[in-house]
Structure 1
Amino acid sequence: MSLIFNRPGRGALALIVSSLTTSAQAAGIPTLQEVTVSSRHQDLIGVADSATEGTVTAAQLRNRPLLRPAEALETIPGMIVTQHSGDGKANQYFLRGFNLDHGSDFATHVMGMPVNMASHAHGQGYMDLNFLMPELIQGIAYRKGVYAAEDGDFTTTGSARIDYRRRLDGNFAEFGLGQNGYRRLLAAGSRALGGDDAADGRQLLVAAELMGNDGPWDQPERLVRRNLLLRLSEGSASHGYALTAMSYSAHWTATEHVPERAITTGEISRYGALSPRDGGRTRRNSLSAEWARLGDSSATRASAYVIDYGLNLYSAPSGYINGPQGDQHEQADNRITWGGEARHAWFLGPALRDTEFAIGTRLRQDRISRVGLYSTEGRSRTGTVREDRITETALALFAEARTQWTPWLRSSLALRRDEISADVTALGGQYNMGNGGSVRGGQTSPKLGIVFGPFNLAGSTEFYANWGHGFHSNDARGATSHTNPADGSPIDRVPLIARARGAELGVRAAPLPGWNTSLTVWQMDLASELVFVGDEGITEPRGASRRHGLEWSNYLTPADGLIIDADLALSKARFRQPVGGGDHVPNAIPLTASVGIGVDQGGPWHGGVRLRYLGAYALEESGEHKSTPFWTANLKLGYRVSKQLQVSMDVLNLFNRHANDIEYWGGACTRNETLSGNCNGGIDGRLVHPLEPRSLRLGLRLGF
């Protein structure tokens, strides 16, 4: 695709704005740009600032088999999405040698709204994407590393910005049925308002989803998910507005990860549960507004949002250490999150080397009326470990200059300042009432990127060098507590901000028509590592770490309607100083690979197949105990009976691999071990959550 503007100034600015809203990428992976802008007779090819940024298009998602909504993020090269509990809970994410837990080091925004939750009841940065409706996604713009001026908290490994469609090609209702009680109804439609049927005219988009699933578990999951979307828009993402209302709720029964020995000894089956009433309920209601204007020599964007969020999560990750009644606890979170951001850019023209200078600000406040940890039996509270009220405010300012020095050299230089403050008030808990207080933290983050090219080497080739500082915030309770709320023992406070520093070198090229490839080497230093602690079911800071790795991504379109992508990611993660008997960072996956093929040439048949490989990773610091490597495959086939009728089939875990979705190492006890007196405060061992067996899902789509 080529977009050509001959008007001085506005053409290059349009290119920049496009890069900010959709990353101006060729579809899907971090590939060389396919956008050409003519300004004062000079062609500028490419606007990417690093070799590891890109976009994913709706066309790629259309033929991608998905087990869970959040697996849409697996279109990001190297990203792994798994689950260790019920499917109403946020997924587990892995990228660049990081166990991201539920989102602590990767930030996601949906239509301008942040998804990661600060000081969350279950885990810092909790990123629940179960409210996504993949069929409505227009694109996913992603960046890796800490090099973008707009990226702040939780972006140590990178960020993703997901945008929904403003207009559908046709209204539809889709019905899905599958094994293990899977059923889904999605209805979506859009219409022009005010008699203007132009693509950029005023549009109203409405979508509703109702979904249920029991899963393969001996204890049926009984997942029920409800989703509603209303979106009023006009124009485009770079010149227009959108008002979006969303409402999501879910409730479920969970089969948590279990000690592997409980399965091997026959105490439970492979898909059995130790605790009968784990699970939870959650809600997410939001209202957001986005506005953008593109002028002859400037561009402005602004957005605002308010989110009503709640979660009650019941789990017993340690099983029965404390007795035959079980170790179930409840983590509860109830909050209002509001905020917004604004950005203004000026195109300074040829006299100043075609520099684009931008300034921006972002404000977010989480008003958490009650966040707590409670001991429970069968979802009934039996005691309060801690209960707090938190108000946490984050303010950021940034400035960025992007300059085209010569036809083959451009740079981006940015400076970002983040300030976070929190007030924590203890509301309950025998040993918690002395905790709380106020805390502040801040960081100034310089960021630098240099791009050499394009050169006529192996097709159009560009070389990238990036360096920058970033961070993730820590839970405000950990930064204000001096006693352990469980037993009153003294604990050390953690800093509110964990600093990160990263660098990478990369190259992108188009060696052959239809083939785009990128190769990147990177390094990341993190001041404080988050590590899963199995016997407590939490994560905790544990020392500084260093990671480095290599990524190779490929995107091929050998024929119209045929898309092939192939990715390989290698990484090594180590603590800077030995911790717990070694320097391995637990659950840091050193090798991932994926290959996917999507076919849709406009005929009746279309579909896709994907293979994914996860290498063995250390389960604990010594590296002695490792997970079992495995690969899986998913298949999607569709057939268009007519323009208004389409049928589809998804086969998930196509070859029925008996592997584990995730593995940990930690202390736990089964019921039999406790009753026999062999628990002794917990038995260290492998904790597993089995991969779901092969399952078949059928879909019927009706257009109207």
Structure 2
Amino acid sequence: MNLFKRILFLKLLTISTAFAHLGTIVGKITDAKTKQPIRGANVVLTGLNRGAISDDAGYFQINNLSPAPYTVEVSFMGYVGQTQSVIVKADEASVLNFILASTEVSLEEVRVSAANPQHQQVISSLDIKLRNVNNSQEVLRLIPGVVIGQHAGGGKAEQIFLRGFDIDHGTDIRLTVDGMPINMVSHAHGQGYADAHFIIPELIESVDFKKGLYDADKGNFATAGWANFRTKSVLDQNFVKAEAGQFNTYRLVGGANILGKKAQQNNQNAYLAGEYNYSDAYFEAPQYFNRLNLLGKYHGHLSTKTNLNFTASTFWSKWDASGQIPDRAVADGTIGFFGAIDPNEGGQTSRTNLNAEFVTLTKHNHVWKNQFFYGNYNFELFSNFTFFLDDPINGDQIKQKEARNLWGYNGNYSIAHGIGTKQSTFNIGVNYRHDVTNDSELSHTKNRSELLEAYKLGDINEANIGIYADENIQLSSRLSATVGVRFDYFHNQYLDHLQANTKSKAKASIVSPKLNLYYTQNSRLQFYLNLGKGFHSNDTRAVVAQKGLDILPPAYGADFGTTWKPFPKLLINAAYWYLWLQQEFVYVGDAGIVEPSGQSVRSGFDVSVRYQLTKNLFADFDANWAKPRAVGEAEGQNFIPLAVKFTSIGGLTLKNKHGFSGSLRYRFVGDRPANEDASIIAKGYFVTDALLSYTKSKFTLGLNIQNLLNTRWKETQFATESRLSNEAEPVEEIHFTPGTPFNARAFLQVSF
């Protein structure tokens, strides 16, 4: 802590000296309709290579300006740009307020700038609305290079594939919603398990994301990348939406503002929303899938310079599942492609959240953010991966269960300042998270009701505190840099109920430096180099049981890339990347858990293209190559099971506020090794989806189609050793969950 105090003291001393006889421009950017702050808007001084990016609360600041008149330009994609003039005086802060009106989206508004390098990418609510999104988890498909797969009836968190990883359910991607963690540490089903189904898709305002481990404020699991869902602070309009489709599928969702116009004029907003889903799904055995989501959110001003966002939500889901089935059972006709070996799989889960976020603009024009969150989480899952391999009489069904409370705090203090004539921003922050589980369980069961043997049963107590600091500075007219460092400390404790309530403890810490460089050749071309160290934590039960096992195995990465706009409406992003992991996490099918393995290395190449063909027609294309390998293994024996090698996603999107809108999209995953020597291959697939909608006045009618060409494909695959009831010897081969066949759903939305 002393180190960070000294850093802050020296920084404040430097800032106070540098401000002498110079002026400052401070401003806020808000949406004309919703009165909500606009985050990420581009601010520049006309004719000068000086500028800023508006923060989460819509604030921006440009410091160390010589007394003179200036013209300030503000722009953001989807809004009409605005210009204001201001006279800066010595030792004074000139205040500007920009209120932007929305307009048609145009790629011309995307700026390449040395003064304002974009450290992350954003998926807008408009992108989400005009893509095939059936639940919040599927929003991840909009992130270039991300592929997801469901394999437990729709109620379980999807598997995630990114940058040469089979991330399972979240071991190497950090997911949050409004800054609150989604990943579950030391989860009953696997480390980092991230179930985002408690988010209602229509309430997602945007998704921030970045690939790699280069941000000091992002800690555990942010190795392959991170994403943060941002929910709306205010509804543009009240709405009700009803959906119905094949396989006895129904969905009803709605939201309404609950405060009057007078309160809204005083920047007080509150709304309630709810969602209910039911589906039998496309499997031969009905899934009887149920999901209920309820959410309330309040946004207001505690004072003229302090904003509050408070969110309360609850979620419940229950389902049956057909599970993974072996190739041989389908090939010999024992079951159909959509059949099941064990029809008794399934589960239920629930989560209740409280999240309070405070943003304060201090009297020194610094931004201070405070967030407190709490969650209560329950999970129960029955699976059978190996059928009759271990127990030829009763079968190998397992039960994974936990009850969890988690709470924490995120704080950040941001100082926009200048060093000489150079624009700079200093951030210092702290993250705290504490998870306590009751009776985390792994058991051998029969018919979901009979306990045959308890494998693991105990209570987990895991705490993590992280402290970080970073400095973003414009070094020259073309070069800017962000330098950061992060310190994390973990304390793990496990109370083993199967070993006479034996209590075991472990602790560890890690330091993670970060460096991001951005070089802008001109207004159309920018290069960047990102370097960093990160980590993904190990399961508490593993680290207390295996002495010498690394609690916080580190990862080291690098990205070298470019952002290029050869034409005003064509945007290309390309990057070569490298990632080394001290410890690989591998899914173990017969146990239904993730276990630590050896070192691994990955490298690859990403390309993303966005092209605006006409005013309302957009094309996008993403291609991602990766070479994942285990370190220290013989050539040909060093493949990482199920790690993706090539993925591509793309399509056409028609964006229209009124009239016809829609999209036609594809997703492709190439063949990949399913085991270490590639003797078993997980076959790839190519699937197309379509969405068409028509909006008139306050009514929207639409049709959402998954798998337009009715392709037969395997959504998730594993190389698993199993034995069927009529087999004398086990067989290792591909076990899979079939992907959806042609699946159409119609919807009607009414806004009021």
Provide the TM-score with structure 2 as the length reference.
Answer: 0.84
**Which one of 289, 300, 324 corresponds to residue 223 of structure 1?**
289
**Which one of 347, 354, 361 corresponds to residue 423 of structure 2?**
354
What does residue 140 of structure 1 align with?
207
Q: 3-state DSSP class of the match of 2:141?
A: helix
Q: Flag the 1:185–1:2 CA change in 2: closer, same or farther, 3 A.
A: closer
**Which 10-residue stretch deviates more, 59-68 or 439-448?**
59-68
Shift of residue 562, structure 1, vs aligned partner = 2.4
Distance 1:297 1:66 in 2: 40
Distance 1:111 1:17 in 2: 11
Whichever residue aligns with residue 747 of structure 2, its letter is G
Matched, 1:606 2:670: no
Distance 1:272 1:44 in 2: 54
What does residue 496 of structure 2 align with?
426
What does residue 480 of structure 2 align with?
410
Whichever residue aligns with residue 401 of structure 1, its letter is E
Give matches, 1:461-540, under 5 Å: 461-482=525-546, 494-540=549-595
Q: 3-state DSSP class of the match of 2:420?
A: helix
Distance 2:583 2:57 in 1: 36
Distance 1:272 1:580 in 2: 38
User: Runs of 5+ in structure 2 lacking a partner?
Assistant: 1-39, 61-73, 89-111
Residue identity (%): 27
Shift of residue 539, structure 1, vs aligned partner = 2.0
Distance 2:166 2:86 in 1: 45
Shift of residue 149, structure 1, vs aligned partner = 0.7
Shift of residue 639, structure 1, vs aligned partner = 1.4
Matched, 1:282 2:349: yes
Which structure is higher in RCO with an 8 Å CA cutoff and minimum separation 6? 1
Distance 1:269 1:514 in 2: 48
**Which one of 656, 675, 697 corresponds to residue 620 of structure 1?**
675
Contact 2:356/2:372 (8 A) holds in 1 = yes
1:163-186 per-position Cα deviation (integer Å, ceiling 9, x unaligned): 111112211111111111110000
**Which one of 442, 450, 458 corresponds to residue 388 of structure 1?**
458
Contact 2:52/2:115 (8 A) holds in 1 = no
What does residue 734 of structure 2 align with?
686
Contact 2:133/2:201 (8 A) holds in 1 = no
Matched, 1:59 2:113: no
Matched, 1:671 2:741: no
What does residue 261 of structure 1 align with?
328
Whichever residue aligns with residue 489 of structure 2, its letter is E
Q: Flag the 1:38–1:664 CA change in 2: closer, same or farther, 3 A.
A: farther
Give matches, 1:117-136, under 5 Å: 117-136=184-203
Q: Flag the 1:580–1:349 CA change in 2: closer, same or farther, 3 A.
A: closer
1:528-553 per-position Cα deviation (integer Å, ceiling 9, x unaligned): 11112233322211110000000001
Q: Flag the 1:546–1:5 CA change in 2: closer, same or farther, 3 A.
A: closer
Shift of residue 599, structure 1, vs aligned partner = 1.0
Q: 3-state DSSP class of the match of 1:354?
A: strand
Q: Flag the 1:36–1:115 CA change in 2: closer, same or farther, 3 A.
A: farther
Distance 1:437 1:64 in 2: 48
Q: Flag the 1:472–1:25 CA change in 2: closer, same or farther, 3 A.
A: farther
Distance 2:393 2:83 in 1: 68
Q: Flag the 1:655–1:324 CA change in 2: closer, same or farther, 3 A.
A: farther
Q: How many residues align?
A: 668
Matched, 1:701 2:749: yes
Distance 1:131 1:181 in 2: 22
Matched, 1:447 2:511: no
1:326-382 per-position Cα deviation (integer Å, ceiling 9, x unaligned): 111110111100001100011222527222111000000001122111111111123
Shift of residue 623, structure 1, vs aligned partner = 1.7
Whichever residue aligns with residue 665 of structure 1, its letter is A
1:646-696 per-position Cα deviation (integer Å, ceiling 9, x unaligned): 2110110010111100211121122232xxxx13xx321111111111111
Contact 2:41/2:75 (8 A) holds in 1 = no
Q: 3-state DSSP class of the match of 2:194?
A: coil
Contact 1:259/1:669 (8 A) holds in 2 = no
Give matches, 1:79-98, under 5 Å: 79-98=146-165
Distance 1:262 1:35 in 2: 64
Q: Which has the larger radius of gyration?
A: 2
Distance 2:75 2:162 in 1: 21
Q: Flag the 1:537–1:194 CA change in 2: closer, same or farther, 3 A.
A: same
Q: Flag the 1:323–1:254 CA change in 2: closer, same or farther, 3 A.
A: same
Cα RMSD, aligned residues only: 2.7
Whichever residue aligns with residue 254 of structure 1, its letter is A
Q: 3-state DSSP class of the match of 2:381?
A: strand
What does residue 712 of structure 2 align with?
658
Shift of residue 67, structure 1, vs aligned partner = 4.2
Distance 1:20 1:526 in 2: 38
Whichever residue aligns with residue 564 of structure 1, its letter is A
Contact 1:286/1:306 (8 A) holds in 2 = yes
**Which one of 701, 719, 735 corresponds to residue 647 of structure 1?**
701
Contact 1:19/1:25 (8 A) holds in 2 = no
Contact 1:4/1:37 (8 A) holds in 2 = no
Matched, 1:207 2:260: no
Q: 3-state DSSP class of the match of 1:195?
A: helix
Shift of residue 4, structure 1, vs aligned partner = 4.2
What does residue 338 of structure 1 align with?
407
What does residue 302 of structure 1 align with?
370
Shift of residue 125, structure 1, vs aligned partner = 0.2
Instruction: Please list every run of at least 4 consecutive aligned residues from structure 1 whose deviation after the TM superposition is greater than 4 angstroms.
Output: 1-7, 11-14, 16-21, 24-28, 34-41, 43-46, 432-436
Shift of residue 479, structure 1, vs aligned partner = 0.5
What does residue 256 of structure 2 align with?
189
